[in-house]
Amino acid sequence: MEAAVSDSSSSSSSSSSWISSSFSFEPPPQELIPGLPDSVVTHSVLPRLPWFVRPRLLSVSKSWRSILERPANYINLTRRLCHTAGLLVIHQLPTNEPTTEEEEDEEGTISSADDDMQQFLGRRDYCCRDACHGQQQEFIVSSSSCRQMTTRYTISMLDTDNNTWHRLPPIHGCPSGIPARCSFVCAKGKLILMGGVPDSVREHESSEVYALDLGGGLWWWEKCASMHSTRAFSKSVFLAGQVYVLGGTCPGEVYDMEEDKWQRLPQMVDSQFFCNGVLGLETQILAYGYDIVDPGQTTTTASDIVNSARILDTVSGCWSSVEFGHAKCCAVMDGSFIFEVVRGFLIQHDTAANLYFVYDGKLEVQPKANSEVDTKGTQSAAQMLSCQVHDLVVAERVVDCNRPGLLVYTLASLGQNDDMDNHACRSLWRAALNHPPTIATTLEPVVWEEILCPFLLTAPSDSLSQMAYFSS
């Protein structure tokens, strides 16, 4: 009898086990796009999607999330099949900016990101934890006695094809999101960001370096080797496979991207030089800015400032200096053509032939909205001021039939340095040149157009204007 009970129990157990094994199964993996083989999606569809679209796919399905978590599967194909190009501008975020709603403007938009991206980046070992478009945290600096809000910065990218703006992600661990007074440069399909002040409350300069692989379709920052010195208010340039950074209160440095190593540059001939920009000219690095005649003075006037440049010969490692008659704001193309805007006119300098060409068509910056106009309709004194150029970028473009041309971007304002109301309100302008850089007398006049931004281009005292053109 006991044997029968035992057999019955054994039979019941085996029957239960059979039923359990028969009805417990893993659901088949969901197709990325119904009706298309996953291999087609991963090799032909995903690599063609721009970087700012990919975070939205994290919430579509587990299959999409699984693919996006393994960038090695699509990063090389993205570099081959997806061309990313646009103007990058760093700017301050307003303290009352909404964190979930999409910010719009008549001529451009800043798109918002999904919560899934924030969760994805938060649990991965990446340098960017927070969502990039609109999902901004209010970083709080805590102490035993008080909590203070730090000033936040971001980098926005203008898609030049459809005139829309897309906000880059903040850097994980950076209270300001993007460090104030930092420098960034585009190199080998990546955006390299260096130094700055990560926390506007503590005001400590940083030596940290980060890279954002936009050309590979990624949307998180990766940490690179740090510089030897902390620095802010610096400028950088990419030349011959290396990144040069100059400015601040310490000697310049050069970064080898392949080896992820920094080397110090020779000391400049004068430590009292203040760098406003850096150009790469074939075998030379040209840092332009100004000298102060007597740094010991408590106040500095225009007569105490000498506009000058320091030139580094990358072959010999020697510095030389040169003086200018006016303040410089320059950009370079093809290593030998220097562009600058002087009193509203675009000037092109062929350094090889030492020839200059002044384009017709003056940049006319409009005054701020509350500038006074008298009853006769004449302009006020503020409207009569010449424009001040704060940054300049020149980029290649294709006009038609693969004919090369140029795009010139500049940040400009009205007023002199002592007119802070006009000087701090900046506007973004663009001019299209339908020819490559060349010296000729039959070039078409320059037509400047203002680009409306969905954010304010003010210039607080703790930040420098910074632009760069990215093209993968």
Q: Are 382 and 372 in contact (CB under 8 A)?
A: yes
Q: Is the pLDDT of residue 13 over 80?
A: no
CB atoms closer than 10 angstroms to residue 467: 20
Query: Distance between CA atoms of 16 and 20, rounded to whole angstroms?
Result: 6
Give the pLDDT mean for 2-10.
49
- Reported as a pLDDT band with limits 50, 70 and 90, residue 265 is very high
End-to-end CA distance of the chain: 82
* pLDDT for the residue 371: 40
Mean pLDDT along residues 50-70? 90
Task: Answer yes or no: is pLDDT of 418 > 70.
Answer: no
Q: Does 190 have pLDDT greater than 70?
A: yes
Higher confidence at residue 415 or residue 137? 415
Residue 400: predicted pLDDT: 62
pLDDT band at 94 (very low <50, low <70, confident <90, very high): confident
- Each residue's pLDDT tens digit, 431-462: 988 777 765 555 678 899 999 888 888 755 45
| For residues 101-123, average pLDDT | 43
Confidence of residue 408 (pLDDT cuts 50, 70, 90): very high
Name the one residue in this structure whose structure tokens are 């990446």.
126
Torsion sign over Cα 331, 333, 335, 337? negative
Cα-based distances in Å from 458 to 97, 270, 308, 464: 16, 32, 26, 10
Instruction: State the average pLDDT over residues 75-95.
Output: 90
> What does the pLDDT look like over 219-261, one tens digit per residue?
999 999 999 999 998 999 999 999 999 987 788 999 999 999 9
Asked if pLDDT for residue 4 goes beyond 70, the answer is no
pLDDT in tens, 126-171: 333 333 333 333 333 333 333 356 789 999 999 988 889 999 999 9
Residue 267 has pLDDT above 70, yes or no: yes
How far apart CA 401 and CA 128 sit, in angstroms, is 40
Residues in the chain: 472
Burial 274-295 (b: 16+ CB within 10 A, else e): ebbbbbbbeebbbbbbbbeeee
Q: Residue 222 region, left (φ>0) first, then alpha (ψ -120 to 50), else beta?
A: beta
- Out of 101-105, 235-239, 380-384, least confident range: 101-105
Where residue 119 falls among pLDDT bands split at 50, 70, 90? very low
pLDDT digits (tens, 9 = 90+) for 292-333: 776 666 666 666 788 889 999 999 999 998 888 888 889 998
Q: Is 17 exposed, middle or buried (0-12, 13-18, 19+ CB in 10 A)?
A: exposed
Q: What whole-number distance in Å separates Cα of residue 254 and Cα of residue 117? A: 34
Please tell me the distance from the alpha carbon of residue 175 to that of residue 134, in angstroms, as a whole number: 16
Assigned token pair, 6: 């035992």
Per-residue confidence band for 343, with pLDDT thresholds at 50, 70 and 90: confident
Distances (CA, A) of 11 to 2, 8, 18, 21, 248: 14, 5, 10, 15, 82
Tell me the two tokens of residue 202: 């503590």
